[in-house]
Every structure is written in structure tokens, then in C-alpha cells.
Amino acid sequence: MDDAKGNDMKDTKTVRSVERAFDILECFSFQQREFTLTEIARAVNLPVPTVHRLVGVLERRGWLKQDERTGLYSLGLHVLERGSVVLSGFTLREKAQQAMDALAADTSGTVLLGAIDDGELVYVDRRDSRAPLRVVSSVGQVRPINYGILGKLLLAYVPEEYVREALRAQPLVKRARLAITCEEEFMAELARIREAGYATAMDETTDGVAGVAAPIIGVDGKVIAGLAVLMPTAAWSDDVRARDLHAVCVAAAQVSKLMGYQAGLIHESLVE
């Protein structure tokens, strides 16, 4: 009997701790993205020592991060990763259907929709090319986060510390003749992608395959997925490249709008 009571009390404390942890996470909003420890304690109406213990757990698990310079707490990268899981599910795939169909029809290329999920690249949907093209990535397949044109596109829009940590866990591999294998060269490529608002690749992942990709942006203004068009390198003339780049940026902008994004798109200059 005493053991049962003890277990019930332990369960109650565990549930209470979980609820308090969620209370802390829910303090953060677009209006206030950073808090001191004291501000968090005041917002959730808990003693500072209790909040310090819970914040420590959330920080170790990646749900919160602390700025070393200011001491302020903000939401961590794990929130971004978990959000990608939701956004890469049925809603994104459903809303991208029409744009992907049109993109495939306009370009005759292989169309891929991908997102980051738990530190990996996941292919959410695909349209096959009408031209002979050796692209083996299938819907639901998981790849290293730096894999292919979608990998580097999506990594261009996450913090540098996340990218470098990802590259330590999954180093760059020479998969094709023009693959980028130098970390600093890869970081420079990500900077170029951010500046341009799109990615291009030729013979980087598979010899004989080239492509263009553009980011899909969510309601909060952050990149949540990517859309790519792949073509045989032999058919990738300047005219075809320009056509496909315009088409993929238009399609990505359409999906972004359907996902709730309202402001000017990163790649809007390419779709005018």
C-alpha cells in the first residue's frame, strides 16, 4: 500500500515537472524571444531555483539555449528540428501537390520536396522526370543532412554552429566529380545560397545530374523545406537552367504562401 502511494506521489511530481517545463517553453513568443532566468520565473510564477533546475534540463536537451554573452535564454535548435517534423508531414505535402505537378510539367525534370527531420534530410514527395535520369531518392527516404542540392539549400538557412556540428557528425563525402568536400568551401557555398535565395548544383551528388532548388518559407518567416528540379547535365543549357530556376522559384513561392508566409519572399526577385 505504501509502495503504491509512493509511486502515485512520484508520478504526480513527474507530471507537475512536465507541465512546468511546457509552461516555460510557452513563455517564448514573437513578441518576446529572450528572457532572463528571473523573468522566466516571474512569467511562470515559480521560484527561481525551481526554474533554474528545469531550464538546465531543457538546455541540455536542446529545447532552450543561453547566450554566453548576455545570459539570456531563447528557444533552442531542437524546437526548429521538431517543427520541421510537423511541417514536413501531410500538410506540407498536401499543399505542395499542385505546385509540384505544374513544376514537373513545365520543366520535364525530376521534382523533389525535402525537409530536415531530426538532423537528417527527408524526401517528402517526388515527381519523376520524363527524361532518362538516374535519381534514386524516393519518398520517405532519409539521407545525410548535407546530401544533394536540397541538403545544402536547407543548411544555408540554419545557424552556422548547427551546420558545423552536423558536418562533424556526417562529414562531406565525394559522391561525384564536382562534389564539395572542403568544409570551408561548403560554408562559402551556403553563404552564396543565402545571398542568391536559391541553390544550383551540377555533378555534385551524381555524375550526369544537375539541378536548381529554392526554399519554402513558413508562417514565421523561416525556411521549412526545399523544392528542387533535377535534369541531365547534358541537357542543362543556359536557357534550360534559367527556365528551371524561374519555375522552381515560382513554385516555392506558391507553396510558401499556402503555408502561411505573407512577407516578401527571399527569392521574389526571381519570380517577377
pLDDT single digits (tens) 201-236: 999 999 999 999 999 998 888 999 999 999 999 888
As a whole number of angstroms, the distance between CA 122 and CA 144 comes to: 9
As a whole number of angstroms, the distance between CA 74 and CA 77 comes to: 10
**32 phi/psi in degrees, rounded to 5:** -140, 110
Residue 183, exposed/middle/buried by CB under 10 A (0-12, 13-18, 19+)? middle
- Across the range 50-67, mean pLDDT stands at 94
As a whole number of angstroms, the distance between CA 150 and CA 213 comes to: 7
Whether the predicted pLDDT of 119 surpasses 90 = no
Does residue 246 or residue 83 have the better pLDDT?
246
Contact present, 108 and 131 (Cβ < 8 Å): yes
As a whole number of angstroms, the distance between CA 153 and CA 61 comes to: 26
How much is the pTM? 0.65
Whether the predicted pLDDT of 89 surpasses 80 = no
As a whole number of angstroms, the distance between CA 203 and CA 230 comes to: 11
Q: What is the pLDDT of residue 2?
A: 53
Contact present, 205 and 147 (Cβ < 8 Å): yes
- Across the range 41-69, mean pLDDT stands at 94
Contact present, 253 and 265 (Cβ < 8 Å): yes
How many C-alpha atoms does 79 have within 13 Å on its Cβ side?
Answer: 15
Contact present, 126 and 113 (Cβ < 8 Å): yes
Q: What is the pLDDT of residue 133?
A: 63
Other C-beta atoms lying within 10 Å of the C-beta of residue 58: 18
Q: What average pLDDT is seen over the chain?
A: 87
Whether the predicted pLDDT of 84 surpasses 70 = no
